[in-house]
Structure 1
């Protein structure tokens, strides 16, 4: 559930003078560079916030309170959210996301494709040099219905005509509205996963960025639904082999990669791979800050992240056929409706420190609502109960994560070890959820390079 636009401060601090090469060089290559980036975020001061750089609907006082009381959200994030309100469209035609009357017969078949852009800043001054192509493909939702989903293929300059390896990125929490889809946000320079994408492209790997079912295309996006996320990832990896101009084919070694919600999607894809996509050439996987047990995650979630609870309640209610008006008061219903149309940063700012007991008719918390109505749905998202491919897997997690408990990552790694898998467990001391993301990037790239080269990474199972 990567909680805020990690590297939004990256592009804002660059101002208008950075070139694509300079922007890519700011992706941390070492632990020290990652530490420096985290320290720069922590040093930001809320006093610079004013009416001109705070999103509409959020007061200056509220924004300053969130920044001052949370180590997660910074001044740059608030300014970035305000900048998004005046952005042009993504460059991908709106009708591209419309599902045709008939979909192809097989999962992973391409429906259509279109040229797109990847900008590193919301002013669209820093366009990445990678070639970008957005494509639609067929997949299947949890109910067994055929669905159209979208993803984006980015090919770095100087890439081989036939890719030896490629990275498939499952993104962190974007929101549940269509406008929040990564394929849309990359074209607007507002996609926080840009730092992970740039990191992989700098290593000359083609990259596939997944949108998930219902994020951009028709129908609901079922937030944190492991089946639909996992299928979206696997079918995107199959479909990219059919994309015109793609250098990825059946022989290309693939790494599945994700953090937070993306870590959950990556782990889910691994658990589904043998049955859903047995022919994919998955060589390794990297899953960070995985909410392997949503019940434990919700139980420990700070009120800074009420937006995530609103996303979840909205999605779980639709999946379970629950009428929220029976449980939520008007304030609660309005909060769910508003959050469902906001992307991550806006939703976090709007709902930070909201006490969920003020949103229910009887004064119960959202935790109580989960216990009463959504326990079975939440339990179905539990990871670690199925076999995964016999490939090197990296699990990374910050001991200071304030969204997904560190113990969940350690437990998942241990579970996979007990099942006989080769697991490298990398903990770090990146402060907060976002700090853990930044701190993990250099180690993820080292792991990626080693596994693509056929070298076995260090196995951590002996100490778990």
Structure 2
């Protein structure tokens, strides 16, 4: 009788404890589910928040996903689900423990986790039935696909982690919330569990569709990248003499004005360290300067603005051609009866590296393109040449004037016109942090200077967390569809790309070295938009003041209300005055000095 009374007291207490345990488990599942949903929504809706916040959210998401899988495994069983949960928790531990985790680390960890988890889901689907099988297969396929995208294209991990991994965490969290609210647990019969899982089918279909879209966009952006064809590959034997025409071929494109004959050319030049190199370019000649009765045409030598830093970014490769480098008035040049010689620079079109904003290298490409153009058969070019340039090309034009007398003394340079030139390089690089999209130009500088100068170390000047993004940005042309990823990626950076102040040490010395500060024998025109948000007017004022203080003549003109690109667009007063100024140079009229 005593044992029966003891049992009577123990069983209710046991049942009460079990009930309290189930209540506690439901609350735990509810809290876990809510946390997972909130973190997942943050990742999905704010994928381009700061890198530090993204890393924290990704770690919390990995842990939440792992714990949710482990709770489900404890409730419903299944070795594969145990393995999946352990995988996500292990991935979070790897990211936490990695010294200085970067986008590349996050790409590899999340990519591997998604691929392995997807494979586990597919295997689990083989044993499942009804909707559970389709849920496993659809979710597994989406995970594998997105994991492969993350591994193949590191900086797209921001999208994968944010949009897709975030939605996956939301779904796992929502499942826990529903289970906690309804009280459904492991004792449900199989059919009830199958019915309860059908709500996941729509979510898994949506995730798979999103995965297919991300993969298709990734492939499309990659295929949309511009690449030079076989014309730009030099022969095995290349002349050692700079300015030699290697090959030429007639060139047709929509941007070539009517009544103009065009060629693309390949010619020899030299790099910044004076080693031989090969560059490409375009030559546009009025029909009157071609053939047996040709009349020599005066020459405009065009140094283009920034198009990118990889071989596919040459204006002669890009669909928009000269306008990609801010030459919008080729038809007006032709209407004046002038020819145009436009180099691509070394490393654009031809093999890199491209010495972005390195003065000597770009100027030699400009001068050697003039030499090569004069070697075209059946083309009559006058000796008179005026150099034009904008932005990056504005600095190249100024450097062309500085180097002309020593590097190519046989060429007659009648004038140098630099519009919004990137001349004050230390000031320009310092200001990029405050400019929308400035990180893209900073990436070009980092890539160009660290690959040109051995004493400028990429790892010394670029933050570890930004290095993969910077490398990827530097490979995209401004005209590539993938540049959208670069712009969006730049928004994730919670700091500048630089590790400290870039205007220091070897980089500072090299930037200062590339300020075009030497004497220029020809008249110089510098045009500047007063509303320029990239090349700031204050920096240009300081550059011109320094030239004036050094005793050099400059015709400096500013234009109210004009930004960087509008300065050189058709209808700009700067362009109207440029044509008048150029006619005066060809007529050998006295130049104005505003110093």
- The match for 1:376 among 506, 509, 529 is 509
Match of 1:133 in 2: 263
Residue aligning to 1:295: 426
Partner of 1:143: 273
- Number of the residue aligned with 1:312: 445
RMSD of aligned Cα (Å): 3.1
Q: Distance in 1 between matches of 2:541 and 2:461?
A: 35
2:353/2:452 contact within 8 Å kept: no
Cα distance in 2 for partners of 1:368, 1:357 equals 16
Deviation at 1:283, TM superposition (A): 1.0
Distance in structure 2 (CA, Å) of the matches to 1:234 and 1:356? 41
Q: Deviations over 1:147-188 (max 9, x none)?
A: 011111101243472324110000000101111101112676
Quote the offset at 1:377 in angstroms: 1.8
TM-score (norm 2): 0.56
Distance in 2 (CA, whole Å) between partners of 1:146 and 1:318 is 16
For 2:405, the equivalent position in structure 1 comes to: 274
SS at match of 1:426: strand
Is 2:414 the partner of 1:283?
yes
Q: Measure the CA separation in 2 of the matches of 1:370 and 1:294.
A: 10
Partner of 1:388: 520
Q: Is the 8 A contact 1:150 1:211 kept in 2?
A: yes
Counterpart residue number, 1:71: none
Q: What is the Cα deviation at residue 324 of structure 1?
A: 3.5
Match of 2:472 in 1: 338
Structure 2 CA distance for partners of 1:356 and 1:296, relative to 1, 3 Å: farther
Partner of residue 458, structure 1: 592
**Contact preservation (8 Å) 1:163, 1:206:** no
**Residues 396-431 of structure 1: CA deviation (Å, up to 9, x unaligned):** 001111111213333444444455544322210243
Aligned equivalents of 1:397 and 1:318: distance in 2?
30
Alignment correspondent of 2:575: 441
Deviation at 1:305, TM superposition (A): 2.0
- Give the whole-Å Cα distance in 2 for the aligned partners of 1:431 and 1:187: 23
Relative distance call for 1:188 and 1:407 in structure 2 (3 A) is closer
- Contact 1:402 / 1:433 at 8 angstroms: preserved in 2? yes
**Residues 338-374 of structure 1: per-residue CA shift (max 9 Å, x gap):** 21221125576444483696468xxx74562442552
Q: Does residue 96 of the first structure (1) align with residue 224 of the second (2)?
A: no
Instruction: Report the alpha carbon displacement of residue 220 of structure 1 after superposing the two structures with TM.
Output: 0.7
> Contact 2:348–2:354 at 8 Å: present in 1 too?
yes
Alpha carbons 1:429, 1:436 under 8 Å: kept: no
Contact 2:310-2:352 within 8 A present in 1 as well? no
Point out the structure with the larger helix share.
2
Q: How does 1:412-427 map to 2 (within 5 A)?
A: 412-427=543-558
Distance 1:215 1:224 in 2: 13
Indicate conservation of the 8 Å contact 2:245/2:372, yes or no.
Answer: yes
Q: How far off is 1:312 after superposition?
A: 0.7
Which residue of 228, 240, 257 corresponds with 2:361? 228
Contact 1:357 1:366 in 2 (8 A): no
Aligned to 2:284: 154
User: Displacement of 1:279 after TM fit?
Assistant: 1.2
Distance 1:243 1:152 in 2: 12
Q: Which moved more, 1:261-270 or 1:407-416?
A: 407-416
Aligned equivalents of 1:328 and 1:272: distance in 2? Answer: 32
Q: Is the 8 A contact 1:170 1:266 kept in 2?
A: yes
**CA 1:89–1:137 in 2, change beyond 3 Å: closer, same or farther?**
same
Aligned CA distance change for structure 1 residues 455 and 85 (closer, same or farther; 3 Å): farther
Q: Which runs of 5+ in 2 are unaligned?
A: 1-155, 160-219
After TM superposition, the structure 1 = structure 2 runs for residues 92-131 of structure 1, keeping only pairs within 5 Å, are 94-120=229-255, 128-131=258-261
Deviation sequence 1:432-451 (CA, Å, 0-9, x none)? 21122333211111111122
* Counterpart contact for 1:135–1:243, Cα < 8 Å: no
Q: How does 1:9-28 map to 2 (within 5 A)?
A: none
Cα shift at 1:379: 1.7
SS of the aligned residue for 1:185 comes to coil
Distance between the aligned counterparts of 1:163 and 1:417, measured in 2? 36
Look up the match of 1:13.
none
1:271–1:387 contact (8 Å) kept in structure 2: yes
Aligned residues: 369
Match of 2:298 in 1: 165
Q: Do the aligned residues in 2 keep the contact of 1:430 with 1:436 (CA within 8 Å)?
A: no
**Cα distance, 1:392 vs structure 2:** 2.1
Secondary structure in 2 matching 1:158: helix
Equivalent in the alignment of 1:27: none
Segments of 5+ residues of structure 1 without an aligned counterpart are 1-56, 60-82, 121-125
Query: Do 2:461 and 2:500's aligned partners in 1 also have CA atoms closer than 8 Å?
Result: no
- TM-superposition CA deviations, 1:120-152 (whole Å, max 9, x none): 3xxxxx864421101111111111211011111
Q: Which has the higher contact order (CA 8 A, sep 6+)?
A: 1
